[in-house]
Amino acid sequence: MNAAAAYAPLNFTLTGRTALVTGAARGIGHAIAVALGHCGARVALADLDPQAAERAAELLRAQGIEAIGVGVDVAEEQQVQAMVTQVERLFGGVDILVNNAGIVSTAPLLELTTAEWNRVMAIDLNSVFFCVKAVLPGMMDRRAGRIINIASVAGKRGGGLLGNSCYAAAKGAVIALTKGLAREAGPFDITVNAVSPALTDTEMTSVLAPQARAQVLAQMPLGRAGTPRDIAAAVCFLASAEAGFVTGEIMDVDGGFMRD
Ligand SMILES: NC(=O)C1=CN([C@@H]2O[C@H](COP(=O)(O)OP(=O)(O)OC[C@H]3O[C@@H](n4cnc5c(N)ncnc54)[C@H](O)[C@@H]3O)[C@@H](O)[C@H]2O)C=CC1
Ligand SMILES: CC(C)c1ccc(C(=O)O)c(O)c1O
């Protein structure tokens, strides 16, 4: 490395980049969209309810961020393709894809219907396949891109603590997919990583019984739940040019939950 490069300040800005965040109307996805926007990216906020997505985008525009809302059911491949086409038309090619949309299931396996199993797999896992399939060709043509999947400690541990083996199976598969895709996309200078949160305060976890919440918190050395902003900060790092040598990584952002 020459002296100029060695002393150049680190640059985490995303100016000129287009980011697509799924499940961005609220919670972790919304915080990620805001944070990427504050780093300079144009942001497409995708969510199931088009009006909620548009309201969320309006909140970003009020902060001076270039943003659009897009309605999509990420479990539907054709809708995902249409979403990417719309984003590309308005904002140009997707440089940063954040696969965040997800649902949780807490039913013990024997109480789970096949329909619920299929719905969790469709939204938490198939969606990642559909979104990647829609953006990857453009990233490969441009020989650049960042794909960041939101996994879960449940996908690493196998769930169980909260009786959610189905959710854990979907997130475990997202982790494996992240590693496999990193190998496939690496030769095109595209990185593929995951952020793996533990208990984070959002609508998803607001339904947790106080006892279950306390049980999880007791295993977190930092002794508090995560905030959506905690997760967004890790995503911004992985989306930046400075993370160009990080791929196939499953980054725990979990208050120490996964420490041995
Ligand atoms: N909150 C937590 O403690 C943790 C969350 N996660 C993961 O983080 C991600 C975000 O979770 P939260 O913000 O907590 O959830 P949330 O329930 O607060 O927000 C999820 C968003 O995804 C959207 N969404 C759901 N199904 C969709 C579909 N079919 N198509 C498009 N959008 C859809 C919802 O409308 C909502 O806006 C999820 O993948 C979740 O599994 C992982 C570990 C911990
Ligand atoms: C992230 C959520 C609240 C969480 C935390 C811990 C486990 C587990 O260890 O079983 C889960 O399954 C979770 O969904």
DSSP 95-117: SEEEE-------S-GGG--HHHH
Average pLDDT over residues 77-98: 98
Kindly report the pTM of this predicted structure: 0.98
Q: What was the pLDDT predicted at 159?
A: 85
**Single-letter amino acid code for the residue at 216:** V
What spacing in Å lies between the alpha carbon of 205 and ligand 2's midpoint? 10
Ligand closest in space to the Cα of 205: 1
pLDDT band, very low/low/confident/very high, at 111 (cuts 50, 70, 90): very high
Mutate to test the pocket of ligand 1, among 22, 128, 161, 202 (most ligand atoms within 8 A of CB): 202
> Which atom of ligand 2 approaches the CA of 205 most closely?
3
Q: What was the pLDDT predicted at 160?
A: 75
Average pLDDT over residues 43-63: 98
- In terms of pLDDT, which residue wins out, 199 or 3? 199
User: Which residue owns the Cα nearest ligand 2 atom 14?
Assistant: 154
pLDDT of 106 above 90: no
Average pLDDT over residues 115-121: 97
Mutate to test the pocket of ligand 2, among 106, 124, 164 (most ligand atoms within 8 A of CB): 164
Question: For the chain, what are the domain ranges?
Answer: 13-249
Active site positions, annotated: 167
User: Which residue owns the Cα nearest ligand 1 atom 42?
Assistant: 152
Q: What was the pLDDT predicted at 1?
A: 78
Beta carbons within 8 Å of 13's beta carbon, 6+ residues apart: 39, 40, 240
User: Which residue owns the Cα nearest ligand 1 atom 38?
Assistant: 102
What spacing in Å lies between the alpha carbon of 248 and ligand 1's midpoint? 22
ipTM: 0.96
| pLDDT tens string 149-197 | 999 999 999 987 777 999 999 999 999 999 999 999 999 999 999 999 9
In angstroms, the Cα distances linking 108 to 39, 136, 164, 169, 207 are 41, 36, 6, 13, 16
Within 26-164, where are the H helices? 27-38, 50-61, 77-91, 114-121, 127-142, 153-157
Q: What was the pLDDT predicted at 223?
A: 97
- For 13-249, CATH number? 3.40.50.720
Query: What radius of gyration do the chain's Cα atoms show?
Result: 18
